[in-house]
Amino acid sequence: MTRHHGVRTSIRGTLIGQQSLAPDFSLPDLTGRKLDLSSYRGKVVLLDFWATWCDPCREEIPHFVELQRKYGDQGLQIIGVSMDDGPEPVRNFYQHFKMNYPVVMGDAKTGELYGGVLGLPIAFLIGRDGRISAKHIGATDISVFEKEIVNLLRSKAGSG
Amino acid sequence: MSLPIKFRQMLLVFIFGTVAFALASLAFSYQASLIPASRLVNPDELVKILQSARSEKPLMIQVGSHVLYTQAHIPGSEYIGPASSDSGLQALRKRVEVLPRKKFIILYCGCCPWSHCPNLKPADDALHAMGFTNVKVLYMADNFGADWVEKGYPVAKGD
């Protein structure tokens, strides 16, 4: 078990511990426009570090599309952070899988901000107050995400 | 009676398609698992090799993502690119083409859990097809972070 930014984590599982603010970043999306994480304060954010060539990452994407469709109007915002070496395969993937949430191109600096993204997928759940509530390493059952998202959506901003 | 025949034909097509898809998915998903155990090296074994004054030092090649390599990699290892892509495989072949076929080479990735890594098997296959006889693949069950960095093994950052 390890600690990154005060959030307890374990491989292939989730433990929720001391909450810390999600590090802000400004990264280009697939059209080149900058996306600032801080602009989503007030929403529940699922931050998914992934890559097109990562098999377990790909398996999660259709489920994330469904979660965004199901809970988007309640305040969920999924943001994909691609760790691919370039945007071209990501653009193709985005269209093919009809992704309905923004994807930005990640970099090493952003990975380090989040404690090192040294394996994929890694997903962070961030509450309406901008605090990280969970970190999932490796493929995670979508029901786990959904349960946590529903709990976070019920929380008011500021109450975590 | 044409309906049952059509139904049987459709059923056969469905079964065949399902089996073909499952086999294709299996082959793609478990590529690294197909590498023979005799060609694997564990992290602690590699560390001993690197620390030993007597051991032949291998050429270590990372065949995963550059973003992951930049964050952390084995000191002295080289980034080549994802060997699941044509460009990555070409870069790998180009890097080693002039080397003696007995050269000790270590391939590693750590992008994903072992059974899901798409990069190592193509890289290993490519080197063996070129005639390299002393290639080992670094076995990491979960990923480079969990199986190397968090174990306290040597790490370098940057390009």
Q: What is the pTM of this model?
A: 0.80
Do residues A134 and A49 make contact, with C-beta atoms less than 8 angstroms apart?
no
Claim to verify: residue B14 and residue B48 sit in the same structural domain:
no
- Chain B residue whose CA is closest to A81: B67
Range of the domain at B69: 31-149
Spatial separation of the C-alpha atoms in residues B122 and B124, rounded to whole Å: 6
pLDDT of A22 above 90 = yes
B84 interaction partners in chain A (CB closer than 8 Å): 53
Cα–Cα separations (whole angstroms), residue A58 to A80, A104, B14, B91: 12, 16, 24, 25
- Structural domain includes residue B58: yes
Is B41 among the domain residues? yes
Q: Is residue B155 part of a domain?
A: no
Contact A47, A22 (CB under 8 A): yes
Nearest to B113 by CA among A71, A85, A137: A137
With 90 as the cut, is the pLDDT of residue B134 above it? yes
Smallest CA-to-CA distance from A45 within A77, A75, A70, A16 is with: A77
Within 10 angstroms of residue B155's Cβ, the number of other Cβ atoms is 15
In this prediction the ipTM stands at 0.76
Q: Which domains does chain A have, with CATH numbers?
A: 45-154 (3.40.30.10)
Classify residue B7: in a domain, yes or no.
yes
B40 touches chain A (CB under 8 A): no
For chain A, say whether B3 makes contact (Cβ under 8 Å).
Answer: no
Candidates B67, B119, B143; nearest CB to A107: B67
Could you tell me if B62 and B16 lie in one domain?
no
Let me know whether B14 and B72 are in one domain. Answer: no
Same domain? For B68 and B82 the reply is yes
Q: Please report the pLDDT score of residue B72 as a whole number.
A: 96
B22 and B35 housed in the same domain: no
pLDDT tens by residue, B44-96? 999 999 999 888 899 999 999 899 999 999 999 999 989 988 989 999 999 99
Confidence at residue B54, expressed as pLDDT on a 0 to 100 scale: 85
Q: What are the DSSP calls for A62-102, one per residue?
A: HHHHHHHHHHGGGTEEEEEEE-SSSSHHHHHHHHHTT--S-
**Between A and B, how many CB-CB pairs are < 8 A?**
85
User: Cβ–Cβ of B81/A54 closer than 8 Å?
Assistant: no
Q: What is the mean pLDDT of residues B132-150?
A: 96
